């Protein structure tokens, strides 16, 4: 993967985590769940979303390059 693509995906994941983390931690605290559980959930959500985004980009690139 090119450095620019890697940087863009890393920035996307970081921004997503910054937006979601406080919300998720507050909900886990309301439910009296541990901070460890919240951290594990945040990791799953952020990395899972990143994996989906990468797969979508790869599909789009594949469609474009097939048509060329």
Residue 58 in this model has a pLDDT that exceeds 90: no
Residue 67 in this model has a pLDDT that exceeds 70: no
The pLDDT tens digits for 20-44 are 889 989 999 999 999 999 988 888 8
Residues 36-42: contacts with CB under 8 Å, at least 24 apart:
42/17
Whether the pTM exceeds 0.75: the reply is no
Confidence of residue 3 (pLDDT cuts 50, 70, 90): low
Q: Are 17 and 46 in contact (CB under 8 A)?
A: yes
Domain coordinates in residue numbering, the chain: 3-67
């Amino acid at each position: 993967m090119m450095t620019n693509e890697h940087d863009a995906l890393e920035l996307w994941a970081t921004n997503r985590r910054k937006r979601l983390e406080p919300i998720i931690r507050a909900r886990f605290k309301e439910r009296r769940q541990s901070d460890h559980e919240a951290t594990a959930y945040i990791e799953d959500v952020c990395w899972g979303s990143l994996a989906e985004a990468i797969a979508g980009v790869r599909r789009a690139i594949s469609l474009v390059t097939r048509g060329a």
